[in-house]
Structure 1
């Protein structure tokens, strides 16, 4: 067994060596994928040290490709392999004691790559943890340049987290090590970071000093990028302080240098220059600069600047009453924003898939650990049985001489065997519980993923649609205010009111749904005036009923009081009445009745609209997107309202019954039973 395992490990090592030589020209992603599979195989063979050593060889290249699925697998395996490193200074110090210089260098490069990975994804706290580890490894190796890099990157993370005192402390430490290493390029970057931080802290004079130092160092090293950044920042500071000529000189310097050396910076330079001209009232120059920024942004795929520049041009043309041009650039900004949103949605789905793959990997590793425990238990059982067999043979050989001793010993052995069997049974029960927990975790995970996907779909579609409608209607009213008569204005404002009510209903449904999902909504009974509450609910939908010319008839006694949860009762009445209006035709009516029969309360809401088929009626309380229907005027819903209504009625000790026929209408009858003497008034 040991020999076959040794041969397999030797084969894996030889295969790794041959593949490294043969695939030297393969893309980085393929190389990382290949090494990951080798490391994963070594880990499954319980050789964690070789697996970690193999994986560390590709982690410095981890940020040179974009495959969320592969990244999540590598991160999951690396996390399990380096869990014995620890996160505190003492733990890492003990971990490093047994490592050679070559191994320390690999760990240094690995934690730096991990820090960069999380920094690019704006997980600054995780990146900070890895950069602090980078400082410890660099100090152990006595590598002053890497030590300076560690302090610099840690300072950047504190700056991103708005902890400026800590950031300044680490930047000063980095400057000391950079100067001792004569790292001119790094010093320039550091001065630019200090300048940015001073500007963010509202210290423009200090920011100017640091940016000028960066320019001075950059001239000596011919570093175009750092000079461009410094000139650009100085121009912004001068413009904010009202120094027109000084700012213009810095903008011209940054433009000239970027044109010659780094054109990718031109979109942001021209955009800020246009904003600068606009601030000082030079709209003609601002217009020209915005157009230049759009041209360069299109060339270098900077969609965000294209969108902002198009919006700014639309505003400028609107101020000049050049409405056709304003509309043109406004439509262009919307088109670019939609395309950017589609790209972000695709990337978000990829990240969800990556996180799901990471969870699958963690479950796979958990199952592997469970299998190891099972093997250990079986091995112990085999050893125990072997010992028992040997003991039995010895006892048989000595039976003739020491029969009494044999009997006593046999009793002891039986007792020991019973205890061991009891332990085995306990271990089997523990394993069974582990299996059950893993199954429950998987079910919870799938439910959570389904819930998140549905929530994102609702927010991304149903929340965006009424907001865009309201925005467009306000834009029309704002730019054509003098062209509408009283009836047209009433119609448009009525549409805005209807969409706001629809949006409010959607937000209330999402809020209540979220609270019920985490069991945060509790039943809190109090005395409720139902006549007043029903009348208030009817008035809430005056705009929607007026738009459809629907008559709401209420048959209510002078007074009905009921001891129940006010918020839940209000939600139930509002949601059922909203559905009745939504699915009613124009010029129709809705009937509302409420009666009290000692310890029972009956509420009925009936409409004479679209109605439902039997199949639709069966699904009315389900939380599924397939059952969502548009109203008679294409009103939209989320599919959450009736399911929440059902849950709230149940919590209020009630039952809900629906009678509906296609094209005849729907009657919703709710019956509440008093569960407290205070409920009856």
Structure 2
């Protein structure tokens, strides 16, 4: 009774909060129409999306997508990270967990690379929420704990309150009752001190779920009513809707059908505003049951019909992804039917051929005699032609060896000598103690870049030299994750990219696979990314994208750098015409990276191509088999 009295007092206190003021979202929308389309505009769009996130998922998604497009247009990377967080959360609210998870991971990578802790915490929250929806409750709780630790570090008490709510909710869903009660009451106490009605409503609803689950129906109703009142004060349609249909379920347990119907009818209206079809279907099923219990079978039938229709719609939406596979299967069966028809026609032709076999046999005898005469003549010239061919091959091999020797000596005399000479000169100055600490600091960075370039040059030189002598041997092809290889190289090159303020964006699907040598693919991607970094101006963007056809996986490495002419493109990947130029920051190289890429791609039964225009960047496309090459 004491708990019920406390909750009733809480209801009276919350109900006194005024809602007459214009909503924050409306104010922000008016502001967005009066400012220029710069980073401030992106920030306002993101704020609108956040404000609407728990009130109208469709509107929130629209504003978040606008923020994303504008952020990309003006290269506002922090704004892009926030927009991706908002898009992921909107898709989660709409029940599209696949898209929600994809956007959450993209946001997580950007916010982690920029160390934007507040947005990184939101990324953790989004991933945790989607894990929770997929019944992976331990993983969900782990991400919510990561979120809470960041909020605590930033002294963000509202963020801590939200994290406590999420941990309690996941613990309840995962049947960790004790944890759910402890974190639920901790969240309620923390959020009550803050006075945030949305967070209070969430805490109360979770505790109501826990007590409903254990059979304490009256106690759960008290918490659901308190949650509903706080949610109305916060204008959170999501909590309002979920509290309403929980009250409807609770009153069904008490067999108070009219009260159940009242709450469920209001829940239907709110779920329509949210566009939450899955919740609508659940609520209509509950309504049908309550109507049937009071004998109103007409309304029971109507609610059941709506429930079935919504389920059918949801089924259709979930089946769209399967439709393409079914269509492919249909085309395959159609082709097989055509093959069977051709086989029947072929059998009919065989009957005709039997009558012609005798003539064919005689013709073969004549041909054999002619071939015998030709063979005698051919063998007379065979040795002469073979000797000429061997001489041509030896000449080509000598010319190739001479070119390789000249190439290696050119690298040793120029690309390797300069950084070694620079290092030697600095060591002499240090030995003579004629180099001040200030001067040494100024040249240390340049020396570091030269030594890094030297290391890359030596690696490529050794690989290229071995390939020229032995060919690309020992190809260990297997199914490999293109996403992981791209992600590893993005992390590996983060320091180099940061020096030029270049964003490397991994747009490759997590499920993307190819059948190739993992080591070779790693070398190919690293050299193409290094090449893109070399010729991309400061503040540019490099994107790695994935596409596929029936048999091949395709990686596109796209940059917005200085580009190339058609003449330059024609000289790429050819030993005798290959060239090297300095990068946008005077980076040097031996010109072997792209040659290695071509050799390793072809060794794995793939192709490499390039599209580019001066001033419009470049796109290198690598095609590899999706399955074992036959």
Using the size of structure 1 for normalisation, the TM-score is 0.36
Give the TM-score taking structure 2 as reference length: 0.39
